[in-house]
C-alpha cells in the first residue's frame, strides 16, 4: 500500500501527469460543432507535444466537393523515422471524447481533472486520452534513454472516433494518404484488460452501424382531448416499432439481419470464457442482473459472438415538469447495431430498414438517416506470431499471463486502417469497469496509466528484437 502511495505521489509530480492533465482539460467533443475550436486547440497541443519528442507532425483535414474543411476535426499524424528496412509500427488512438451529459450527475467538473485517491476523474480520463497518452509517455521515455531505436513509428490520432471517424474515413479515400500509413504492426490502446488489470489481448471486435429513426404522424402536436382516440400518436407508435425489433426471448426479430454469421470455434469460446467476467461481477458493475440479449445464451456468446440491435435513445412529445396534454406528431430514436464476423454492414442495415418500413404503424411514416459506422467485425487467428510476442511481453509484466478477449465494443476505423496500412493489428488496453467510460464520473487510475506506459515501452523494445 505504501509502495503504491509513493508511486502515486511520484507520478503526480512528474511531467507525465502535468501533460496528461493539460490534455484532459480540452473539451474535445468531436461530434459537436460548438467544440470544434476546442478540438483544433487540442490537436495543436498534441502536435507541439509530439514534435517535442522528435516527431514530424501534421494536422490533416479532409476536403471534398461541396464541403469546407472547417466541418471536420483535425487528424493528428506524426512520424518518427528509424532505420531503413526496420519494423514500422502504426499507433492509433483518438483524442475526442463523449459529451459530458448529464452534467448534474458529475461529482466533479467533467473537464477539470480531479484526483481522488489513486484515480483521476475527468471526461476522457480513460477513453481514450488516458490510454493512448500513457503509451506515448512510454514511447517518450524510451526515446530519451541511451538505447537507439531503429523502429519506424507512425502516430495517428483521430478527432472523431466517438462519432464514426468521419474525417479519417474521408482521408482514407486518398490513395497517397493510404500509402503513407503502410506499416507492419498497428497498435491500438483503446480496449480493456481482464479483471484486476490482468492483461488481455483482443482477438476480435464487433462491427457497428448507428443511425437515426424518425417517425412522423400528424402535421403538428395535437390536443390530447380534442384529438384523443382520433389521431395516431407518434410516441406510442415509436414504442411499438422499437418493440418489434426483438422477439419475446430477446432474440432479434429482423429478417435477414443474421445472414452470413460465422460462429466461433470451440477454442475461441474456451479462451473467451477464461477472460470473461462472471454474471455476479456484471451484476455488481451495472447494478442489475445481466439479462439482456437472447435467453439461453451465455454471457460470452451474447457479448463476444452475437450481434445486437440496441435502442440508444427515444425522444418524443413533452418531458418537462408538470403536464402538457399533447399527442406528439413526431418521435425520434437513435439505434446502434453491433455486428459479428460474416455480417455485411450494408446488408444488415438494409434488413433493419426494411423491417422498420414493414412494421411502420398505420397513419405514420418512418425515415432512417445519419447512418455512420458501417464497419464490419473481425476476428484474428489465435496462432498469430504477433500474439505470441505480445503474450511473452505481457507475461513478463504480469505473472498471471495474458488472456484473450473478443470485445463486444467496436472501433469502426480499425478495420479500415488494417486494410489501408497492411498492418497486423494488436489491441491491448487497460480499461476497467470502474472507469465508467461514456458515463458521468469517468476516471482512470494511476496504476492503469503506469501499466499502459510500461506496455508501450516493452512492446516497442520487443519489436526491436
* pLDDT tens string 220-269: 999 999 999 999 999 999 999 999 999 999 999 999 999 999 999 999 99
pLDDT tier at 65, thresholds 50, 70, 90: low
Looking at every residue in the chain, the average pLDDT score rounds to 94
Q: How far apart are CA 350 and CA 344, in angstroms?
A: 10
387 domain residue, yes or no: no
With a cut of 50, say whether residue 347 has pLDDT above it: yes
* pLDDT given for residue 69 in this prediction: 46
With a cut of 70, say whether residue 66 has pLDDT above it: no
Match 538505447 to its residue by C-alpha cell: 147
- Considering the domain architecture, whether residues 124 and 73 belong to the same structural domain is answered as yes
381 domain residue, yes or no: no
Q: How far apart are CA 257 and CA 32, in angstroms?
A: 31
Nearest to 430 by CA among 190, 204, 203: 190
CB 92, CB 156: distance < 8 Å: yes
* pLDDT given for residue 457 in this prediction: 96
* pLDDT given for residue 4 in this prediction: 65
266 domain residue, yes or no: no
The sign one gets for the Cα dihedral 452, 126, 428, 288 is positive
With a cut of 70, say whether residue 376 has pLDDT above it: yes
198 domain residue, yes or no: no
Last residue of a domain, one of 325, 347, 375: 375
Q: Where are the alpha helices (DSSP H) in 53-196?
A: 129-144, 166-171, 175-180
Phi, psi of 450 (to 5 degrees): -70, -35
With a cut of 70, say whether residue 387 has pLDDT above it: yes
CATH code (residue 110): 3.40.630.10
* pLDDT given for residue 437 in this prediction: 97
What mean pLDDT is predicted for residues 282-295? Answer: 94
Q: How many domains does the chain have?
A: 2
CB 164, CB 210: distance < 8 Å: yes
- Considering the domain architecture, whether residues 41 and 70 belong to the same structural domain is answered as yes
- Considering the domain architecture, whether residues 72 and 212 belong to the same structural domain is answered as no
Convert the pLDDT of each residue in 176-234 to its tens digit: 999 999 999 999 999 999 999 999 999 999 999 999 999 999 999 999 999 999 999 99
- Considering the domain architecture, whether residues 45 and 123 belong to the same structural domain is answered as yes
406 domain residue, yes or no: no
DSSP state of 104: G
- Considering the domain architecture, whether residues 47 and 147 belong to the same structural domain is answered as yes
- What is the domain extent for residue 434? 2-190+411-463
With a cut of 80, say whether residue 3 has pLDDT above it: no
Q: How far apart are CA 90 and CA 185, in angstroms?
A: 6
- Considering the domain architecture, whether residues 125 and 235 belong to the same structural domain is answered as no
CATH code (residue 349): 3.30.70.360
Q: How far apart are CA 383 and CA 370, in angstroms?
A: 39
286 domain residue, yes or no: no
With a cut of 80, say whether residue 2 has pLDDT above it: no
- Considering the domain architecture, whether residues 338 and 437 belong to the same structural domain is answered as no
- Considering the domain architecture, whether residues 251 and 154 belong to the same structural domain is answered as no
- Considering the domain architecture, whether residues 64 and 145 belong to the same structural domain is answered as yes
Compare 287 and 164 and report the one with higher pLDDT.
287
With a cut of 60, say whether residue 67 has pLDDT above it: no
In sequence order, what are the beta bridge partners of 405?
202
What mean pLDDT is predicted for residues 436-449? Answer: 97
222 contacts: CB under 8 Å, gap ≥ 6: 231, 326, 327, 329
- Considering the domain architecture, whether residues 121 and 164 belong to the same structural domain is answered as yes
SS3 of the chain: helix, strand, coil, percent, to 5: 35, 20, 40
* pLDDT given for residue 425 in this prediction: 95
DSSP state of 34: G
* pLDDT given for residue 8 in this prediction: 86
24 domain residue, yes or no: yes
- Considering the domain architecture, whether residues 236 and 172 belong to the same structural domain is answered as no
* pLDDT given for residue 373 in this prediction: 82
* pLDDT given for residue 465 in this prediction: 60
Question: Residue 459 is placed in which grid cell?
Answer: 512492446
Last residue of a domain, one of 328, 354, 375: 375
Question: Residue 391 is placed in which grid cell?
Answer: 503474450
Q: Is 27 exposed, middle or buried (0-12, 13-18, 19+ CB in 10 A)?
A: buried
What mean pLDDT is predicted for residues 367-383? Answer: 91
With a cut of 80, say whether residue 91 has pLDDT above it: yes
- Considering the domain architecture, whether residues 311 and 363 belong to the same structural domain is answered as yes
Nearest to 449 by CA among 156, 128, 195: 128
Convert the pLDDT of each residue in 122-176 to its tens digit: 999 999 999 999 999 999 999 988 666 789 999 999 999 998 898 999 999 999 9
With a cut of 60, say whether residue 1 has pLDDT above it: no
273 domain residue, yes or no: no
What mean pLDDT is predicted for residues 341-369? Answer: 98
Mean pLDDT is lowest, of 14-18, 297-301, 370-374, 451-455, for 370-374
Question: Residue 59 is placed in which grid cell?
Answer: 494536422
Last residue of a domain, one of 375, 392, 423: 375
β-strands 185-188, 88-94: how paired? parallel
Mean pLDDT is lowest, of 31-45, 188-202, 266-280, 342-356, for 266-280
Count of CA atoms in the C-beta half-sphere (13 A) of 318: 12
Q: Where are the alpha helices (DSSP H) in 292-408?
A: 299-300, 345-358, 385-397
Mean pLDDT is lowest, of 83-97, 180-194, 368-382, 431-445, for 368-382
Convert the pLDDT of each residue in 396-407 to its tens digit: 999 999 999 998
Amino acid at each position: 500500500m505504501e509502495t503504491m502511495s509513493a508511486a502515486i505521489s511520484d507520478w503526480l509530480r512528474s511531467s507525465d501527469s502535468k501533460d496528461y492533465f493539460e490534455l484532459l482539460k480540452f473539451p474535445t467533443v468531436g461530434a459537436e460543432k460548438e467544440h470544434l475550436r476546442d478540438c483544433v486547440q487540442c490537436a495543436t497541443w498534441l502536435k507541439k507535444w509530439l514534435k517535442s519528442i522528435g516527431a514530424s507532425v501534421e494536422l490533416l483535414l479532409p476536403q471534398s466537393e461541396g464541403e469546407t474543411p472547417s466541418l471536420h476535426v483535425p487528424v493528428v499524424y506524426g512520424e518518427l523515422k528509424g532505420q531503413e528496412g526496420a519494423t514500422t509500427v502504426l499507433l492509433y488512438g483518438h483524442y475526442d471524447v463523449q459529451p459530458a451529459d448529464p452534467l448534474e450527475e458529475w461529482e466533479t467538473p467533467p473537464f477539470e481533472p480531479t484526483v481522488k485517491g489513486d484515480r483521476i476523474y475527468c471526461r476522457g480520463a480513460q477513453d481514450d486520452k488516458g490510454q493512448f497518452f500513457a503509451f506515448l509517455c512510454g514511447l517518450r521515455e524510451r526515446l530519451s534513454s541511451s538505447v537507439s531505436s531503429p523502429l519506424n513509428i507512425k502516430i495517428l490520432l483521430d478527432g472523431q472516433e466517438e462519432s464514426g471517424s468521419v474525417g479519417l474515413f474521408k482521408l482514407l479515400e486518398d490513395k497517397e494518404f493510404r500509402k503513407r500509413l503502410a506499416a507492419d504492426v498497428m497498435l491500438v490502446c483503446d480496449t480493456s484488460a481482464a479483471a484486476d488489470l490482468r492483461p488481455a489481448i483482443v482477438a476480435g471486435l464487433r462491427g457497428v452501424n448507428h443511425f437515426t429513426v424518425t417517425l412522423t404522424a400528424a402535421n403538428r402536436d395535437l390536443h390530447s382531448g380534442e384529438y384523443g382516440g382520433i389521431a395516431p400518436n407518434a410516441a406510442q407508435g415509436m414504442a411499438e416499432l422499437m418493440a418489434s425489433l426483438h422477439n419475446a426471448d430477446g432474440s432479434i426479430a429482423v429478417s435477414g439481419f443474421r445472414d452470413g454469421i460465422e460462429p466461433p470455434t470451440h477454442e475461441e469460446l474456451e479462451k473467451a470464457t477464461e477472460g470473461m467476467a462472471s454474471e455476479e461481477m456484471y451484476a455488481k458493475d451495472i447494478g442489475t442482473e445481466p439479462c439482456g440479449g437472447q435467453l439461453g445464451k451465455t454471457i460470452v456468446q451474447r457479448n463476444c459472438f452475437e450481434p445486437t440491435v440496441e435502442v440508444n435513445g427515444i425522444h418524443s412529445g413533452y418531458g418537462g415538469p408538470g403536464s402538457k396534454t399533447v399527442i406528439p406528431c413526431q418521435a425520434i430514436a437513435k439505434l446502434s447495431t453491433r455486428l459479428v464476423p460474416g455480417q455485411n454492414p450494408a446488408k444488415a442495415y438494409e434488413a433493419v430498414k426494411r423491417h422498420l418500413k414493414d412494421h411502420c404503424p398505420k397513419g405514420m411514416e418512418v425515415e432512417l438517416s445519419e447512418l455512420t459506422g458501417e464497419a464490419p467485425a473481425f476476428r484474428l487467428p489465435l496462432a498469430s506470431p504477433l500474439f505470441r510476442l505480445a503474450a511473452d511481453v505481457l507475461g513478463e509484466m504480469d505473472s498471471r499471463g495474458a488472456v484473450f478477449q473478443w470485445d463486444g465494443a467496436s472501433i469502426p476505423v480499425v478495420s479500415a486502417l488494417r486494410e489501408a496500412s497492411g498492418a497486423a493489428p494488436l489491441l491491448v488496453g487497460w480499461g476497467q469497469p470502474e472507469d465508467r467510460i461514456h458515463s458521468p464520473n469517468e476516471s482512470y487510475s494511476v496504476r492503469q496509466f503506469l501499466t499502459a506506459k510500461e506496455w508501450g515501452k516493452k512492446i516497442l523494445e520487443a519489436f526491436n528484437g
